[in-house]
Amino acid sequence: MSSAAIDHAHDHDHHHGPAKGITRWLFTTNHKDIGTLYLWFSFAMFLLGGTFALVIRAELFQPGLQFVDPNFFNQMTTMHGLVMVFGAVMPAFVGLANWMIPLMIGAPDMALPRMNNWSFWILPFAFLLMVSTLFMEGGGPNFGWTFYAPLSTTYAPDSVTYFIFAVHIMGASSIMGAINVIATILNMRAPGMTLMKMPLFVWTWLITAYLLIAVMPVLAGVVTMMLFDIHFGTSFFNAAGGGDPVLFQHLFWFFGHPEVYIMILPAFGIVSAIIPTFARKRLFGYDSMVYATASIAFLSFIVWAHHMFTVGMPLAGQLFFMYATMLIAVPTGVKVFNWVATMFRGAMTFETPMLFAIAFVVLFTIGGFTGVMLAITPADFQYHDTYFVVAHFHYVLVPGAVFSLMAAAYYWLPKWTGYMYDETLGKLHFWMSFVGVNLLFFPQHFLGLAGMPRRIPDYALQFANFNWISSVGAFLFGFSQLILLLVVIKCIRGGKKATAQVWEGAQGLEWTVPSPAPYHTFETPPDPSLIKAQ
């Protein structure tokens, strides 16, 4: 874009709109176009990963094997996890970062627009490669999204090599996206937009981007070691060759735990934008929110082995990781308290984004409570690898991260499309999702405590009732997402015209540009008087 702008500097008052046809999307370097591509891609992956989940829940509807064989069931649990984490949640946040960060800091675009295009367009190929393994001889990856060796090396189906290559591509995409976010935030803020005036969404993404750069290479390293074990005769993870299967878990979770925060920190940023808007009151404790985010990011690097309390670490190691994990509750608590204090004595209205944001605060906190319980090591021996863990991380990821994404979509849709979405349909979508998600995941706490291990295609009879409820909730939740699709399509096609301000209580630079946001915004920096403390 920048070179095009220079070439055509002579006719600079001529309007540069988007190119026409498919090439607009293939060659685009515009942050809004790329944001849109990321968001549509992640929504498609959300539906695909959701379909895999419904296969799982259909099989678990009743005891006995009904629909799929155990090997295919394992492929479904694996693919569901991988597609949701790497295909749905992460790219959705990158899409929001692309759309919103330049608008929020008063920048004309992302700092590295060509790399931006590349980091998106390698993603569909990565997922095509990964999902195609389902149709290969021997089937796709069937070793869980955590792909513990040696099940994922010596005992893996041949398609594991495609999986490794796909993970490499996803990692490259994430690292490029993260570099772009950091470069944009550190270099392209409008005059007057000091760091401590940045919206929290920008702050949380800045910190998330550093986490990505720190841990994605570790993931790339661990899958490369797998590749060598499988094809080149090394024994990194093969005990018979002097290797160490536990080493795999240490490396994986050194990536995996910060990864958890990569999926939730931007959600904190979104909720910190929406709650003040609809409470019509400034965010309580902005500074402490920034410090809490940074603390969580730091702690995320020293708690990884709490995923491994049952591998037989020495007592001192167990205690260290127990204490460090419990500490995370402190900054996370600060965030929740600040959100509640923001709502306290506000003047609230409950449009769809606010409903999702409030549900986020409540249900994410429930996931946080079970998180503290899981930190208590002796109790974790009972919870570990059961449906209690499944319930825990789905509470923080679905009504946590995913609800925040839905809140964000409703919140900024009018800014993206120029039209208001259908509020009635939006509320219907919220309530169906809310009921569905709780029916789906709440009974799983009971299943886990009563002793049901995760990742099993069939179960003992005492688990039948809650599995049944959970499956009903899954189908309700899953099909409700089609309402979101309907709302978005309707909103793109028309509706009530949105004003620039959109929401009465909204603050920030993105609300100073017209709706829909023009193809190019902030070609000249915004008036510094528009930049207020959050």
Partner 1 sequence: MLSKAKLWLSLAFGALLMWSAGAHAAWELNMPRGVTQISRETYDLHMTIFWWMIAIGVVVFGVLFWSIINHRKSKGAQPATFHESTKVEIVWTLVPFLILIAMAIPATRVLTAAYDASESELDVQIIGYQWRWEYRYMDDDPNAEEVSFFSSLATSREEISNSIDKGENYLLEVDNPLVIPSDTKVRFLMTAADVLHAWWVPEFAIKKDTIPGFINESWVIVEEPGIYRGQCAELCGMDHGFMPIEVHVLEPADFEAWYAEQQQQALQVAELTNAALSMDDAMAQGAEIYTRNCVACHQGNGQGMPPAFPAITGSAKATGDIGITMDTLVNGVPGTAMAAYGRQLNPIELASIITYVRNAFGNQTGDMVQPAEVNEFIVGGQ
- Residues numbered 298 to 337 that lie near partner 1 (CB under 8 A) are 310-312, 315, 318-319, 322-323, 326-327, 329-330, 333-334, 336-337
247 binds partner 1 (CB under 8 A): no
What's the per-residue H, E or C state across 451-516?
CCECCCCCCCHHHHHHHHHHHHHHHHHHHHHHHHHHHHHHHHHCCCECCCCCCCCCCCHHHCCCCC
| CB closer to partner 1, 109 vs 380 | 380
Site for partner 1 in 16-75 (CB under 8 A): 63-66, 69-71, 74
Establish whether 231 is a catalytic residue: no
Q: How far is the CB of 130 from partner 1 (least distance, A)?
A: 19
Establish whether 119 is a catalytic residue: no
- How many residues are present in the chain? 534
**Pick from 168, 332, 146, 364: nearest CA to 256:** 146
Site for partner 1 in 157-186 (CB under 8 A): 157
Name which position in 144, 192, 495, 516 contacts partner 1 (CB under 8 A).
Answer: 144
Establish whether 257 is a catalytic residue: yes
User: Annotated catalytic residue: which of 197, 280, 454, 520?
Assistant: 454
| CB closer to partner 1, 186 vs 330 | 330
Site for partner 1 in 248-307 (CB under 8 A): 279-288
Q: Cβ distance 172 to 159 under 8 Å?
A: no
What's the per-residue H, E or C state across 21-53?
CHHHHHHCCCHHHHHHHHHHHHHHHHHHHHHHH
SS3 at position 9: helix
Site for partner 1 in 385-414 (CB under 8 A): 385-386
Q: How far is the CB of 154 from partner 1 (least distance, A)?
A: 6
Establish whether 335 is a catalytic residue: yes
User: Annotated catalytic residue: which of 261, 383, 387, 503?
Assistant: 261
Task: Give the distance, in angstroms, between the CA of residue 473 and the centroid of all CA atoms in the same chain.
Answer: 22
Q: Cβ distance 115 to 179 under 8 Å?
A: yes
Number of residues that bind partner 1 (CB under 8 A): 104
205: number of CA atoms within 13 Å, CB side?
34
| CB closer to partner 1, 361 vs 484 | 361
137 burial via Cβ count (<10 Å: 0-12, 13-18, 19+): exposed
Q: How far is the CB of 437 from partner 1 (least distance, A)?
A: 13
483 binds partner 1 (CB under 8 A): no
The number of beta carbons lying within 10 Å of the beta carbon of residue 493 is 9
Establish whether 454 is a catalytic residue: yes
| CB closer to partner 1, 115 vs 376 | 376
SS3 at position 386: strand
Establish whether 109 is a catalytic residue: yes
366 binds partner 1 (CB under 8 A): yes
Establish whether 345 is a catalytic residue: no
The number of beta carbons lying within 10 Å of the beta carbon of residue 134 is 15
- DSSP, res 218: H
Per CB under 8 A, the segment of 101-109, 216-224, 356-364, 486-494 that binds partner 1 is 356-364
The number of beta carbons lying within 10 Å of the beta carbon of residue 432 is 16
**Pick from 396, 469, 426: nearest CA to 84:** 396
SS3 at position 243: coil
Name which position in 143, 254, 410, 511 contacts partner 1 (CB under 8 A).
Answer: 143
User: Annotated catalytic residue: which of 32, 57, 189, 307?
Assistant: 307
Q: How far is the CB of 114 from partner 1 (least distance, A)?
A: 41
How far apart, in whole angstroms, are the C-alpha atoms of residue 468 and residue 359? 24
| CB closer to partner 1, 47 vs 329 | 329
Establish whether 307 is a catalytic residue: yes
Q: How far is the CB of 173 from partner 1 (least distance, A)?
A: 27
Tell me the catalytic residues. Answer: 80, 109, 145, 173-174, 257, 259, 261, 272, 306-307, 332, 335, 454
